A and B are shown apart, each in its own frame.
Chain A
Amino acid sequence: MTALLLRTFLPSPLTCRTPPPPTPTPPLIRGPRFGELTTSARVRLTRTNATAPTKPRTLQEGIAELYDESSGIWEEIWGDHMHHGFYDPDSSVSLSASDHRAAQIRMIDQALSFAGISEDLANKRVVDVGCGIGGSSRYLATKYGAQCEGITLSPVQAERANALAASPGLADKVSFQVADALDQPFPDGQFDLVWSMESGEHMPDKAKFVNELVRVAAPGGTIIVVTWCHRDLAPSEESLQPWEKNLLSRICDAYYLPEWCSTADYVKLLKSHSVQEVKRADWSQYVAPFWPAVIRSALTWKGLTSLLRSGLKTIKGALVMPLMIEGFQKGVIKLAIITCRKLD
């Protein structure tokens, strides 16, 4: 019944590989994991790596619009953390909503632990780059005593983030503003921790993104990036296989992401700056239950009615979720963590 309902909205089979339209138009943007809203048209994705020639202003506007429209729906069903949960590899399939929330919180703790800084965050300054509705910032402030500034392209998210922070002991520790991660409105060397939890995939210019992360980090400060990457290329490879590019392009298409890069690309970019202790890991095995859970949540009564309210593009985004699972299973997509420390 559900499948039939969804299929009536599906314009073409998932396996249909229509090439993207030839003319460049305002770029696509990603939605939250089970749906997104956009009014932008499609963009022709290029073959080149990170610095794709999409107009940054329009992509920005698109991302802002998207999150302005859809954050509420995500929050209703999943809460205030808009990132993968961290699970034990052998965890059972029947996890509850609160298990998933706990996993999302665990992701934050694991990231800090990986970077080696869990103990030192009291009263330290943190910038939350791509802060969503402030889940990470509020958690870092409440549990670790950090003082956090969040930036997001979405005015609605910034407002919601501030609203969620208006409680005693928290209001002084976190604040949120509308700003661009590629042009952070802070002087150099401001932050002890530069935190980017699943926002990197939105950045059309990875080099500039990394530049800014390093610039605003204080001497000796830590940078933590958790993001979606494609697999590293073998030394003999110039690019991904055609089938891999096709898979990613359908995901970019539905979720409106700029071109993906690999974990190795991030490491290379970071190493071109004055940083040390660059560490990387592939956490794909620890996030495996996430997408199936998002799909299940989309197929609940609440999920379905939200999707149907949202529109065709949201539904298309939801239908492409199996591609994320496929990508992970086939080793194309990785959930990567990359951390380093800025030189003193």
Chain B
Amino acid sequence: MRLLTHNMLSSNIKGVTNGFPLRIEAEKVVEKQVEINHDFLRNIFPKIEWKAFVDASRILGYAELPEEAPEPSVLESDHEFLGKFHHALLELHIEEGALVCPETGRKFPINKGIPNMLLHEDEV
């Protein structure tokens, strides 16, 4: 599961007011090389919840991203930043671990890179 996906998922357990972002418990993280696509990065950038993204990347051991989201114009020319953004967003994969609801602490397991977000009967 990539951090791009993590940035889109939230806990939808009944009664939870803010289920985003899910906390990460990473047991196994792998790096998978993905060809960089600058246009894709420029397009996706405005949709990323930056703080959640930076925090998540730190948990996975990547500390290169700035705390504050840069101005979009930075993505036009700063290839170094684009590379870091790309790496954290798409190349770090949580293979095994869990996503944790920030309010209830309930764990959604990640197996073979696939998060299981199914709710139990009493959470619906």
Chain A contacts to B: CB under 8 angstroms: 55-57, 60, 122-123, 125, 147, 149, 151, 153, 155, 158-159, 162, 168-169, 171-173, 175-180, 182-187, 190
CB of B16, distance to nearest CB on chain A (Å): 11
The listed residue (B9, B43, B113, B116) touching A123 by CB distance below 8 A is B43
Bound-complex Cα distance A147 to B42 (A) = 13
Report yes or no: A56 in contact with B117, Cβ–Cβ below 8 A.
Answer: no
Interface string of B94-114 (1 = CB under 8 A from A): 000000000000001001111
Interface string of B36-78 (1 = CB under 8 A from A): 0101100110010000000000000000000000000000000
**Which B residues touch A153, using CB under 8 A?**
118
| Contact sample, A vs B, 6 pairs, CB 8 Å cutoff | A60-B118, A162-B113, A162-B114, A175-B2, A180-B118, A180-B119
**Closest A residue, CB atoms, query B122:** A57
Interface string of B1-45 (1 = CB under 8 A from A): 110110011111000000110000000000010110101100110
Report yes or no: B37 in contact with A172, Cβ–Cβ below 8 A.
Answer: yes
**Which B residues touch A125, using CB under 8 A?**
8, 47
CB of A107, distance to nearest CB on chain B (Å): 27
Bound-complex Cα distance A182 to B124 (A) = 9
CB of A134, distance to nearest CB on chain B (Å): 12
Bound-complex Cα distance A172 to B4 (A) = 9
Whether B92 sits at the interface, judged by CB under 8 Å, is: no
Using known A-B contacts A149-B8, A183-B12, A185-B9, determine if residue A173 contacts B40 with beta carbons closer than 8 Å.
yes
The B contact surface, by secondary structure, is loop
Q: Shortest 3 CB-CB distances between A and B: which pairs?
A: A185-B117, A123-B43, A179-B117
Report yes or no: A185 in contact with B1, Cβ–Cβ below 8 A.
Answer: no
The listed residue (B10, B90, B124) touching A56 by CB distance below 8 A is B124
Bound-complex Cα distance A179 to B10 (A) = 12
- Chain B interface residue count, Cβ-Cβ cutoff 8 angstroms: 34
**Closest A residue, CB atoms, query B10:** A187
Bound-complex Cα distance A155 to B5 (A) = 17
The listed residue (A162, A172, A178, A190) touching B116 by CB distance below 8 A is A178
CB of B107, distance to nearest CB on chain A (Å): 13
Residue among A122, A149, A169, A187 with most chain B CB within 10 A: A187
Report yes or no: A159 in contact with B114, Cβ–Cβ below 8 A.
Answer: yes
**Closest B residue, CB atoms, query A60:** B118
**Which B residues touch A162, using CB under 8 A?**
113-114
**Closest A residue, CB atoms, query B41:** A172
Using known A-B contacts A56-B124, A171-B34, A172-B34, determine if residue A185 contacts B10 with beta carbons closer than 8 Å.
yes
Supplied contacts A123-B39, A178-B115, 12 more A-B pairs, CB within 8 Å: A56-B124, A60-B118, A123-B40, A159-B114, A172-B34, A173-B40, A178-B118, A179-B118, A183-B12, A186-B8, A186-B9, A186-B10
The listed residue (A168, A177, A178, A183) touching B5 by CB distance below 8 A is A177
